[in-house]
Amino acid sequence: MSDVDAGEKPPVFSRWRSWYWLVMLVMAAQVILYLFITQSYS
């Protein structure tokens, strides 16, 4: 599967992979944040 389909120009990022990484990084950051909150009060 190509990163950018023919005829499609995704906005903001030139490559779709950047979006996928962004979603995963935000997810990881949230897990770390929530883990920190949980540990702070346990």
Alpha helical stretches, state H, the chain? 16-41
Quote the tokens at residue 38. Answer: 């949980």
Our finding on whether 30 is near other proteins (CB under 8 A) is yes
Give, in order, the Cα–Cα distances in Å from 14 to each of 10, 20, 21, 27: 7, 12, 13, 21
Question: Could you tell me the smallest distance in angstroms from the CB atom of residue 36 to other proteins?
Answer: 9
Our finding on whether 29 is near other proteins (CB under 8 A) is no
Residues that bind other proteins (CB under 8 A): 1, 5, 8-11, 16, 19-20, 22-24, 26-27, 30-31, 34-35, 37-38, 40-42
